[in-house]
Amino acid sequence: MLSVFEIDVFYGEVQVIHGLSIEIKKGTTTALLGSNGAGKSTVLRTLSGILRPEKGQVLLGNNRLDKIEPSTIVTKGIAHVPEGRRLFSQMSVEENLIMGAFEKKLWANRKDNLQYIYDLFPRLKERRMQEAGTLSGGEQQMVAIGRALMSKPKMLMLDEPSLGLAPKIVESIFELIQDLNKEGITILLVEQNAQIALEISDYSYVLENGRIALEGKAENLMDNIYVKQAYLGL
Amino acid sequence: METVAKTNKGKRSFVARKEYWYQSTKVLYSASAIILIILPMFVGNYTLHILTLTLIFAVLALSWNLVAGYSGIFSFGHHAFFGIGAYVSALLSIKYGLSPWFGLIIGGGIAAISGIVISLPVLGLRAAPYIAILTLGFAEIVKLIVSNLVGLTRGELGLSGIEPFTSIGSISFNLAHRLNSYYLILAVMCLVVFVILKVISGPRGLALKSIRESQDAAESLGVNLRKSKLYVFMLSAFIAGVAGSFYAHYVQVLTPSSVLGVDIMMQILVITVIGGLGTIYGPIIGSFIVVMGLEYLRFLGDDRLMIYGVVLVLVIIFMPEGIIKKVFRKAK
């Protein structure tokens, strides 16, 4: 569905990603693992158009994603749940969700999509008029995911959805991610919590200093002694 | 998501606090309607004048609030649009005999164009201090131009004998009929409130608020930052220009310092912050408190400015969200 071919990404003068290629198959869950500063978030930011690769290509089917306006990428069926959620904290839950359908092509369907999100998260319906910044961490993550789902994406990219959440809530967020995957949404997951990410993913890449250090089916990686030492802390 | 729902069940931190009858928004709206419409019929010319000035400042603060309160762009050159509206409309009526009614629109229009001009360099800036300096500098330039184009504006001598609004039938708007002028600015203010409510509740309002919260997140969701900022500067400058034009034909005398002084900007800022940034009714209530407060404390001489300062500090410490949100929690 989405293939990244030998991209180089820079922050100013500093090269963060070196000739990275990944392949995400339709309907699968792919995990991008690695320690702090490995370049995981940078990859997601490049896929959603916030950053541009200096070299290489990002292909969705036959479309070059790295050549179109960042604001229209969301209409191609790719939605991004950014790290740290990035909610509009002084706007209501409902306003936050509607922002997910702000792009012109999505605006017309916002009411139906809102209903879909409320069916998925009844809790958000209860709190629809509350300011997003006053919600608990778990609820804020629901709003962030809900906002991304407002564009009815074919592929959902999640950046550290477990960040700063209680273990129990992390568990339910990952259950939700699996449910979404079963509904047919392709998932690209960035996580530091390798254990849980490997559990739910089909295929994984381990990033190190902006390069792929290791890749493979999740169950194989799980057994790989190298992963255990480096990222699972076992 | 069942588990999340369960784990949070114990946390009902948002049970509404008890609300007293005087805090309901119905009371707020009906009381303000009575005060604004009926009371002015029974007051003297002096009070009527103060009320009119209060509403002019309310309109001005409402327009600044669009940029600062809703979009989070702290422009400190808003008084320039007020002054431009005032001078354009006054000069058109003096030099070309244009009806002040058209002046109201053209004054607003020219202010809107200058709003677009000043927003162009602002578009590239994200840090508040630079935006503040840039906009403040722009307003100073406008003031210097107006005071130095002596041939056109008579400089610091000012313009006098500006025509009042032409009568509509038997309703005239000269200084002998202040009540009519009052109702005119009240109507303008209601229209402005209506327009702002309309904008804020629509997609544009959503875009502006999201820009205030996080420009990056807004952009990644498809908000066009440039267009939204241009739009909000244009609209708010237009409203400020209309307020300026009304002021010119109401007071009928203009000097650069009376409409382009930086103290006007301070007044706008204080009114909006005291009333409530990012609210509809905040700037109106703030205007009543600040403009009327300063007027009725006149007997204290310059000491009143001290009280003004103390009130401002107290408001910022104890109700940073403004008076309107403190007293009427549900007010917009």
pLDDT of B144 = 92
Q: How far apart are CA B87 and CA B98, in angstroms?
A: 13
Tell me whether strands A29-34 and A203-208 are parallel, antiparallel or unpaired. Answer: parallel
Q: With bands split at pLDDT 50, 70 and 90, how would you rate the model's confidence at B7?
A: very low
Asked if the Cβ–Cβ distance from B222 to A102 is below 8 Å, we say yes
Q: Bigger pLDDT: A218 or A160?
A: A160
Those of residues 20-59 in B touching chain A at CB distance below 8 A are none
Helix (H) / strand (E) element for B254: namely strand B253-254
pLDDT of B12 = 40
Mind telling me how many Å the CA of A124 is from chain B's nearest CA? 10
Spell out the residues 6+ positions from residue B55 whose beta carbon is closer than 8 angstroms to its own: B182, B185, B186, B188, B189, B287
Count how many pairs of residues, chain A against chain B, have C-beta atoms within 8 Å. 96
Helix (H) / strand (E) element for A6: namely strand A2-11
Spell out the residues 6+ positions from residue B20 whose beta carbon is closer than 8 angstroms to its own: none
pLDDT of B78 = 94
pLDDT of B54 = 94
Q: Bigger pLDDT: A119 or B322?
A: A119
Report the residue from A98, A123, A147 with minimal CB separation from B206: A98
High-pLDDT (> 70) share of chain A, %: 96
Closest chain A residue to B69 measured between Cα atoms? A90
Any idea what the Cα angle at residue A140 is, between residues A186 and A111, rounded to 5°?
65
Q: With bands split at pLDDT 50, 70 and 90, how would you rate the model's confidence at A225?
A: low
Tell me what the mean pLDDT of segment A226-230 comes to.
65
Helix (H) / strand (E) element for A14: namely strand A14-24
Tell me what the mean pLDDT of segment A93-120 comes to.
89
Place of tokens 């309107």: B324
pLDDT per position as a tens digit, B24-77: 777 778 888 888 888 888 888 888 999 999 999 999 999 999 999 999 999 999
Q: With bands split at pLDDT 50, 70 and 90, how would you rate the model's confidence at A223?
A: confident
The number of residues in chain A equals 234
**Hey, what CATH topology would domain A1-77+185-234 get?**
Rossmann fold (3.40.50)
Span of A70-74, B11-15, B192-196, B273-277 with lowest mean pLDDT: B11-15
Asked if the Cβ–Cβ distance from A88 to B224 is below 8 Å, we say no
Those of residues 252-281 in B touching chain A at CB distance below 8 A are 278
Q: Is the pLDDT of residue B93 over 80?
A: yes
ipTM of predicted assembly, 2 dp:
0.75
B5 touches chain A (CB under 8 A): yes
Supply the mean pLDDT for chain A: 87
SS3 string of A150-211?
CCCCCEEEEECCCCCCCHHHHHHHHHHHHHHHHCCCEEEEEECCHHHHHHHCCEEEEEECCE
Please count the other Cβ atoms lying within 10 Å of the Cβ belonging to residue B191.
13
pLDDT per position as a tens digit, B143-185: 999 999 888 888 888 888 888 887 787 777 877 778 888 999 9
Give the global pTM. 0.82
Q: Is the pLDDT of residue A183 over 50?
A: yes
pLDDT of A227 = 66
Q: With bands split at pLDDT 50, 70 and 90, how would you rate the model's confidence at B3?
A: very low
Tell me what the mean pLDDT of segment B68-92 comes to.
93
Q: With bands split at pLDDT 50, 70 and 90, how would you rate the model's confidence at B254?
A: very high
Q: Is the pLDDT of residue A231 over 70?
A: no
pLDDT per position as a tens digit, A54-105: 989 898 888 888 888 777 788 888 888 888 878 998 899 999 999 988 888 8
Beta bridge partners of A55: A8
Report the residue from A138, A173, A176 with minimal CB separation from B8: A138
Supply the mean pLDDT for chain B: 86
High-pLDDT (> 90) share of chain A, %: 33
Residue B325 burial (C-beta neighbours within 10 Å; 0-12, 13-18, 19+): buried
Q: How far apart are CA B326 and CA B306, in angstroms?
A: 24
Q: Is the pLDDT of residue B100 over 50?
A: yes
Q: With bands split at pLDDT 50, 70 and 90, how would you rate the model's confidence at B10?
A: very low
Q: With bands split at pLDDT 50, 70 and 90, how would you rate the model's confidence at B19?
A: low
Helix (H) / strand (E) element for B96: namely helix B78-96
pLDDT of B143 = 93
pLDDT per position as a tens digit, A34-58: 888 888 889 988 888 888 899 898 9
